[in-house]
Structure 1
Amino acid sequence: MTEPLAAHALRRTCDASALGFATTDDLSADAPFVGHERAIEALEFGIEIPNDGYNVFALGPGGTGRRRLVQQQVAAHASDRSTPPDWCYVNNFSEERTPQLMQLPTGRGTALCEDMEQFIEDVKTALLATFESEDYQTRRQAVQEEAQEEQEAALDELQERAREENIALIRTPNGFAFAPIKDGEVVSPEEIDTLDEERREALQEKIEQFQEELQQILRKVPERQRAARKQIQQLNREMAEFAVNDLLEELQARYDDLEQVVDYLQAVRADIIENVEAFVRAAQSGSSSQNQAAMQQQSQQSNGLPGALWRRYRVNVLVDNSDTEGAPVIYEDNPNYRNLVGEVEQIAQMGALVTDFNLIQPGALHKANGGYLIIEARKLLTQPYAWEGLKRALQNNEIQIESPGEALGLIRTVTLEPEAAPLDVKVVLVGERMLYYLLSAYDPDMEDLFKVMADFDDNIDHTDAARMQYARMLATLVDEQDLRPLDASAVARVVEHSMRLVDDTKKLSTHRTALCDLVTEASYWAGKDAADVVSRTHVQQALDAQERRADRLRERVQESIARDTIYIDTEGSAVGQVNGLSVLQQDGFAFGKPNRITARVRLGSGDIVDIERETELGGPLHAKGVLILSGFLEGRFAQEHPLSLSASLVFEQSYGGIDGDSASSAELYALLSAIADLPLKQSLAVTGSVNQHGVIQPIGGVNEKIEEFYDTCQAAGLTGSQGVIIPQSNVEHLMLRPEVVAAAEAGTFHIYPVRTVDEGIALLTGQPAGTRADDGTYPEGTVNRAVADRLAAMADQRRAFASPNGTADEAASHE
């Protein structure tokens, strides 16, 4: 008969005296993380390799500190790299819809921006002074007067010749007119009418001749005006060049080493001269203060932005790395499409949306260019088109700023198309394993763009060195969070809790967040006790408080069992009935739940009906476990005759979904009991899965399952016969509560490890299972013999039913 486990096997403790320090203040606070060597190696490889496509996906469970570790590793490498250049957008004067991108040495982007702002102010002043100057006004007036004088001279000459013919050139409000004169006076129409016809015709002929000459003179007026305007335009350009050249040469001298900037400044010079008329019109409008306002008004361009003529000469510093040390490390908390690739903003002006190159905004890719970009994968994938936008940038090695609608071809508006920025960035995605494997399975671009997988461990091996790593990590947490130090007993309790978190005494959890929360709360309870140091008691208080906050549902389950609302027997025996154990999970809090499992058998064709599956309450893993039972029964008891029973299995009072195969051994025990008509002890609960050979396999949540049945038995009254049957392979996972260990030590509660179904059924029935003899039979008085006999009888009955007009005895005699 299997013996119960000794109390020392139910919980592994950490000896505080063996840790070698009094409090965490005695330790160096330089270990923010524990474990993750594999992930760190992968990160270093992915960060250092310069080839395209070797971006990193850091995958692992949340709470392990993966993002912080990524940032720490990336920052360490970034500090050794050179600082990338600045990036600026400037106006493309030849094609304003495609702003020009300029790459400048680190820090010189801001310098150029400030220099251009000062240049604009200086140009405003210089142009105003130039076009208000007496020299300019004199020269402009001279051009205008020259054109006027030419016209007047032609008119005077015509008037003189007409006078010689006794015809006067008269200026009227409606223009010029010719009229005959006599003795210096204009002849009236009545007097002209008195002239004979010949003289009237001669007079009319002369007037028409002079009228034609006048028309020729007047036709030359627009030509003279055009010539004058050209002369004035040339004068304006000469004056503008005079005003701008000195300023521009001074500015250009500062950037002689940057050919792109020199070319841009020359383009600025040409554009100012080309648009000088706007400044001239403003200068002619009045005083200096009026000129400033007029120049602002005159400089409204087609885009509608205030001061657009001056805005066209500004520099939009997209990325300024002047304060960056080494390569930039950017963490994008909101990785939507615009925040990644940038955008062209728009301003509402006079009922329309307008923009220019000054409204181009950078994205995270611009800011991280030449360095590293860290993104949470889940946040990225939940943003529309963000994943596709990131892939496109990485595939093309450039950042193209455009709206998602334009990128998808859904909309097309006349707007800016900034020159694409060359991209040199290392991207690190941080996310759960599920996301990584889904992307790898369904997105063929993953293997080309994210070649490096940095897999963070859930746990580490429990060794002496690991315990000291843990202690240093706790010291670091205390230092970072400004908490009370932990004494050795508190650290030992945290280590014990870490084993419980992973359900394995040979492992320690790497869930940094859970440990940080525990230390923070333990420090709080120490403060409530006015203690300067956190002790084991305070850590236990924190654990108890965490459980108390989360165990409302568990309490309701226990209450229902105590009030017989949920039927669970902890004494006596019953045929075809066993206590199975399951685990429920609620918002990170796991607890066990006893379940009554029953089985009924009858004559049939070997079918085992899983009622949970039939009602669609059972999951595929549970259904698999039930099917394994058929394999076990057929392999052990149906070698010489067919399995001639039908059976039904059910979790009583189960109204929700059930999945997993951890109850398959309990279902098998109930089934064997029902077949053999042997009662099972209700004082024992069972957990463990079974294979077709009857070997009991390990399961999860063993601690929660044992503790919950212990609580049930304690509420009903411990008798000394109660306990739980678990797989032998789960023994090293036991980290039971101290009160359960104490009960086991006192002999009031027992934990039985079993390797096979035979060991388990012997414990539940109190009878030996029985070993098959060479002739294929089992000894009398064993469970297997009772099962074999019942199944043989069922087979005979089935043959009898199948034989026409025969009985069971007759059917047997024919064999």
Structure 2
Amino acid sequence: MNLKKLNIEDLKASSDPSLFPFKTTEDYIFDNEPPHQERGVNAIEFGLNIKAEGYNIFVCGSNGTGRNTQVKKAVYEIASREKTPGDWLYVYNFAQEDEPLAITLPAGMGKTFKKDIEEMISELKIEIPKSFESEDYEKRKHVLIKEYKQKRENVLDEIEKKAFEEGFVLKQSATGVILVPRVNTKPMEPSEYEKLPDNEKEKIERKKSELHILIEQVLTEVRVMEKDVKKNIKELEKEVTLFAVRHIIDDLRAKYKEYEDIIQHLNRVQKNIISNLDSFKEEEEMPAQNFLGVKNITKENVFKRYEINLLVDNSEIKGAPIVIEPNPTYYNLLGRIEYVAQFGSMTTDFSMISAGDLHKANGGYLILQAMDLATTFMSWDALKKVIKNHQIKMEDINEQFRIISTTSLKPQPIPSDIKIVMIGPPWLYEMLYRYDEDFRKMFKIKADFSREMDKDSEKIKKYISFIKARCEEEQLRHFDRNAVAKIVEYGSRLVEDKNKLSAHFVAIADIARESNFWAGKDNAKYVHDKHVEKAIQEKIYRSNLIEEKISELINNNVLMIDVAGEKIGQINGLAVYEIGGYSFGKPSRITVSTYIGKSGVIDIERQVNMGGNIHSKGVMILSGYFGQKFAQEQPLNFTANICFEQSYDGIEGDSASSTEAYCLLSSLSGVPLKQYIAVTGSMNQHGEIQPVGGINQKIEGFYHVCKIKGLTNEQGVLIPQANVQHLMLKDEVIKAVQEGKFHIWAVSSLDEGIEILTGKTAGEKTSDGKYPKDTINFIVNEKLKDFAKKSAHPPKTKKPKQIETINSLKNTP
């Protein structure tokens, strides 16, 4: 049995400080590259370099494993070598004002073009009004008007002369020209007209009708003349305006001649200016006044349509743009169209379009947190549409929910070329991959980050560099080599593996900060190993209230746990509890009662719906093991009730299946089990012991119970042999083992374990297929044979004497 005891070297992988080539991290040659995992980093680099469609990246892993750091490092490195994409701007659409047009220019030219347009508008505000005040314009306009008036007067004089010759006088009225009969040179009074003979009146009316036709023809001619002069004046104004505007816009055309979209826009601007001359000729409007807090529209709005909305300005960016969005709402991703209140209604225009992250990252990289994206309304669907359609289409999300539709802007979509990097937990990746058909087409690269990494010299160097980086960046005290060794050991403890280190760098950084705090309390210049130990102990103390309360209940025998003596059908199993990120081990009493029956192994926890599926599976495996081992020649005619005593919560996991098997063997054989040895380990149907999780917490949990109840130098824990590599026990437990106060055994089969727990040989079948006498397996087999025999031939029950007398009386004639 002693051969199965573990040595001190088996209980922990200690780091030898003397192997570190420095006294403190202050002396260590600084390597600023963070610890990384080759698998995840290689996947990220591959995804960033391949430019094919759909090769966006989903980075999987737990928080604190360096995902964000590695993504940023890789993205910044590759982006710095790439070409800076162009600027994007929106301009007024003169053909359809609610559909602004998008134009792109090389990086930095957007800002220049915007400034040029602003200068153009400033010049237009001066030059256009000034052109209408010029002497040449006034002279030419005066000539046109004078010619028109002269022609008009000549025509009207002729008609007036004609009317006079026919005996009429022309008079102007509100309704037009009136013909009034005359007497000599004076208009005839109505009373005089009434005195005229009827034939004379008819003659006058006939002439009046003829003159009216002539007058109408003359007035039509005058209106044509007026229309012509207005047209000529308009042409003159266009000519004057074009002269004032052309040289300003021609300079811009020459400057941006390589950009067809800009040339077309400038042409449209020039055409619109010429077409809207009245807007520039109006007298200065009244000062803007407020009505109900809303400003009146002023003449300035005339020039607003010629302005530029510089949506994306890449003038200050070196390489490809990188956008990291911590809050990926719909509007943060796709941009928004803003509104202002105007006379009781909401108005907008192309200048109120704001860029989103997708616009800013266009031609570069967008880094998002997958959980934030998935839980934000409409964001995931919006992102998929951008990836699928290769364009960024800005829409007002509220339009989908309005009862009454309203007019809004529909900006021209912008072509997109963005590499998306999402960072999230593995379960979210699996859910999206399984249930969203588009996801697997759009995110073809999966970069996995593990919570652990191999413990080799290179990784230890990265750990040291990481600790020094924290000291340098956060002004912490430097660590001596002993303190560094403790942190390396802590890294192995976190992943419960001697040959691994934790990749949960947040936890490592936290311990470094807390160790620095306790070193400060000691006024120490450097952080020593005792400060790291203090930080770990204090971290536990802040979280272990429940553990201490349970220990108190055990110490007071409220929770009944025996750590001395031997008992039949009773054993201490070990379980792990996790509360708020803190896990600890606790022993649980497991009992088994057996008797003749045909129900087999009954899992009481399962019967009352307190046992999980995995635990029930472990019990069924246990049944399979007993059937395979003891039911080859006779049926198993027994019932066994397995119970976790004083358990009031659910039971899950199969780590107690071997413990239950030992207890069942004890109950059937009548051989007591040592109560001072606690057991953990799962088993298979062949009786092989399999590794379990939380092995360090389980051992330490039972040690703690033994300590408060009193160490007897016999107590210990039975663990699976496969778990030896996971041992990273506390120094206190190791010291107790070294002093012989506590023991740890490792076994690989049930037979090995039952020998330690009972002190009797398990027994293997001999060549005749039988177990040696007085072995555990022999005793159990004999008991099961006896159960089978009694089940097949149950003893007859003798009738009570009173009943026999009654029956005899019934049979008497």
TM-score normalised by the chain length of structure 2: 0.92
Q: What displacement does 1:459 show? A: 1.7
Q: What residue in structure 2 maps to residue 501 of structure 1?
A: 494
Indicate how the Cα distance of structure 1 residues 84 and 18 shifts in structure 2: closer, same or farther if over 3 A, else same.
same
Q: What residue in structure 1 maps to residue 769 of structure 2?
A: 776
Q: What residue in structure 1 maps to residue 718 of structure 2?
A: 725
1:743 is aligned to 2:761:
no
Q: What residue in structure 2 maps to residue 484 of structure 1?
A: 477
Q: What displacement does 1:137 show? A: 4.3
Q: What residue in structure 2 maps to residue 811 of structure 1?
A: none
1:380 is aligned to 2:366:
no
Contact 1:296 1:306 in 2 (8 A): no
Q: What residue in structure 2 maps to residue 125 of structure 1?
A: 126
Q: What residue in structure 1 maps to residue 649 of structure 2?
A: 656
Contact 1:728 1:754 in 2 (8 A): yes
Q: What residue in structure 1 maps to residue 605 of structure 2?
A: 612
Partner of residue 625 from structure 1, selected from 609, 612, 618: 618
411-420 vs 613-622, greater mean Cα deviation: 411-420
| Unaligned ranges ≥5, structure 2 | 799-813
Q: Distance in 2 between matches of 1:221 and 1:567?
A: 120
> Following superposition of structure 1 onto structure 2, how do residues 379-418 of structure 1 map, counting pairs within 5 Å?
379-404=372-397, 414-418=407-411
Q: Distance in 1 between matches of 2:286 and 2:106?
A: 35
Q: Distance in 2 between matches of 1:125 and 1:181?
A: 57
Q: Distance in 2 between matches of 1:327 and 1:305?
A: 42
Q: Distance in 1 between matches of 2:278 and 2:795?
A: 113
Contact 1:35 1:457 in 2 (8 A): no
What letter is aligned with 2:468?
A
1:675 is aligned to 2:668:
yes
Q: What residue in structure 2 maps to residue 450 of structure 1?
A: 443
1:366 is aligned to 2:359:
yes
Partner of residue 708 from structure 1, selected from 684, 689, 701: 701
Q: Distance in 2 between matches of 1:150 and 1:611?
A: 119
Contact 2:610 2:650 in 1 (8 A): yes
> Following superposition of structure 1 onto structure 2, how do residues 395-544 of structure 1 map, counting pairs within 5 Å?
395-404=388-397, 414-544=407-537
Q: Distance in 2 between matches of 1:626 and 1:103?
A: 69
CA-to-aligned-CA distance 1:338-386 (integer Å, 9 cap, x gap):
3223333333333333222222222222212222221111112112332
Q: Distance in 1 between matches of 2:198 and 2:40?
A: 119
Contact 1:279 1:295 in 2 (8 A): no
Indicate how the Cα distance of structure 1 residues 698 and 63 shifts in structure 2: closer, same or farther if over 3 A, else same.
same
CA-to-aligned-CA distance 1:457-508 (integer Å, 9 cap, x gap):
3222222333223212211222222211111011000011011001011111
195-204 vs 795-804, greater mean Cα deviation: 795-804
The secondary structure found in structure 1 opposite 2:763 is coil
Q: What residue in structure 1 maps to residue 546 of structure 2?
A: 553
> Following superposition of structure 1 onto structure 2, how do residues 575-590 of structure 1 map, counting pairs within 5 Å?
575-590=568-583
> Following superposition of structure 1 onto structure 2, how do residues 127-276 of structure 1 map, counting pairs within 5 Å?
127-172=128-173, 175-220=176-221, 222-276=223-277
701-710 vs 641-650, greater mean Cα deviation: 641-650
Q: Distance in 2 between matches of 1:557 and 1:434?
A: 33
What letter is aligned with 1:452?
I
CA-to-aligned-CA distance 1:78-119 (integer Å, 9 cap, x gap):
111122221222223223333222221111011001111111
640-649 vs 138-147, greater mean Cα deviation: 138-147
Q: Distance in 2 between matches of 1:118 and 1:379?
A: 44
Contact 1:305 1:355 in 2 (8 A): no
628-637 vs 267-276, greater mean Cα deviation: 267-276
146-155 vs 516-525, greater mean Cα deviation: 146-155
The secondary structure found in structure 1 opposite 2:577 is strand
Contact 1:318 1:362 in 2 (8 A): yes
318-327 vs 340-349, greater mean Cα deviation: 340-349
759-768 vs 262-271, greater mean Cα deviation: 759-768
Q: What displacement does 1:148 show? A: 4.5
Contact 2:285 2:298 in 1 (8 A): no
Indicate how the Cα distance of structure 1 residues 722 and 142 shifts in structure 2: closer, same or farther if over 3 A, else same.
same
Q: What displacement does 1:413 show? A: 5.1
1:19 is aligned to 2:25:
no
Q: Distance in 1 between matches of 2:456 and 2:520?
A: 32
Contact 2:288 2:298 in 1 (8 A): no
What letter is aligned with 1:243?
A
Q: Distance in 2 between matches of 1:255 and 1:211?
A: 62
What letter is aligned with 1:102?
I
Contact 2:681 2:691 in 1 (8 A): yes
Q: Distance in 2 between matches of 1:118 and 1:449?
A: 45
Indicate how the Cα distance of structure 1 residues 733 and 305 shifts in structure 2: closer, same or farther if over 3 A, else same.
farther
488-497 vs 97-106, greater mean Cα deviation: 97-106
Indicate how the Cα distance of structure 1 residues 606 and 777 shifts in structure 2: closer, same or farther if over 3 A, else same.
farther
Could you tell me the percent identity over the aligned residues?
40
Q: What residue in structure 2 maps to residue 279 of structure 1?
A: 280
Q: Distance in 2 between matches of 1:759 and 1:201?
A: 146
What letter is aligned with 2:769?
G
Q: What displacement does 1:789 show? A: 1.6
The secondary structure found in structure 1 opposite 2:633 is coil
TM-score normalised by the chain length of structure 1: 0.92
The secondary structure found in structure 2 opposite 1:233 is helix
Q: What residue in structure 2 maps to residue 112 of structure 1?
A: 113
Indicate how the Cα distance of structure 1 residues 295 and 750 shifts in structure 2: closer, same or farther if over 3 A, else same.
closer
341-350 vs 117-126, greater mean Cα deviation: 341-350
Contact 2:591 2:644 in 1 (8 A): yes
What letter is aligned with 1:315?
I
66-75 vs 38-47, greater mean Cα deviation: 38-47
Q: What displacement does 1:184 show? A: 3.0
| Unaligned ranges ≥5, structure 1 | 806-815
Contact 1:305 1:354 in 2 (8 A): no
Q: Distance in 1 between matches of 2:404 and 2:541?
A: 56
Indicate how the Cα distance of structure 1 residues 802 and 343 shifts in structure 2: closer, same or farther if over 3 A, else same.
farther
Indicate how the Cα distance of structure 1 residues 273 and 400 shifts in structure 2: closer, same or farther if over 3 A, else same.
same
1:689 is aligned to 2:690:
no
Contact 1:602 1:645 in 2 (8 A): yes
Q: What displacement does 1:623 show? A: 1.1
Q: Distance in 1 between matches of 2:678 and 2:152?
A: 121
What letter is aligned with 1:748?
K
Indicate how the Cα distance of structure 1 residues 253 and 296 shifts in structure 2: closer, same or farther if over 3 A, else same.
farther
Q: What residue in structure 1 maps to residue 810 of structure 2?
A: none
Contact 1:296 1:307 in 2 (8 A): no
Indicate how the Cα distance of structure 1 residues 12 and 411 shifts in structure 2: closer, same or farther if over 3 A, else same.
farther
405-414 vs 35-44, greater mean Cα deviation: 405-414
Partner of residue 767 from structure 1, selected from 724, 736, 760: 760
The alignment covers a number of residue pairs equal to 796
Q: What residue in structure 2 maps to residue 71 of structure 1?
A: 72
Q: Distance in 1 between matches of 2:566 and 2:431?
A: 49
What letter is aligned with 1:485?
H
What letter is aligned with 2:230?
R
93-102 vs 615-624, greater mean Cα deviation: 93-102
Q: Distance in 1 between matches of 2:651 and 2:303?
A: 72
Contact 1:57 1:428 in 2 (8 A): yes
Q: Distance in 2 between matches of 1:276 and 1:751?
A: 98
Q: What residue in structure 1 maps to residue 809 of structure 2?
A: none
Q: Distance in 2 between matches of 1:48 and 1:305?
A: 53
Q: Distance in 1 between matches of 2:290 and 2:307?
A: 15
What letter is aligned with 2:49?
E
Indicate how the Cα distance of structure 1 residues 616 and 223 shifts in structure 2: closer, same or farther if over 3 A, else same.
farther
459-468 vs 718-727, greater mean Cα deviation: 459-468
The secondary structure found in structure 2 opposite 1:669 is helix
Q: Distance in 2 between matches of 1:433 and 1:201?
A: 108
Q: What displacement does 1:154 show? A: 3.0
Q: Distance in 2 between matches of 1:558 and 1:574?
A: 22
123-132 vs 306-315, greater mean Cα deviation: 306-315
The secondary structure found in structure 1 opposite 2:542 is helix
671-680 vs 489-498, greater mean Cα deviation: 671-680
231-240 vs 591-600, greater mean Cα deviation: 231-240
Q: What displacement does 1:175 show? A: 4.4
Q: What residue in structure 2 maps to residue 5 of structure 1?
A: 6
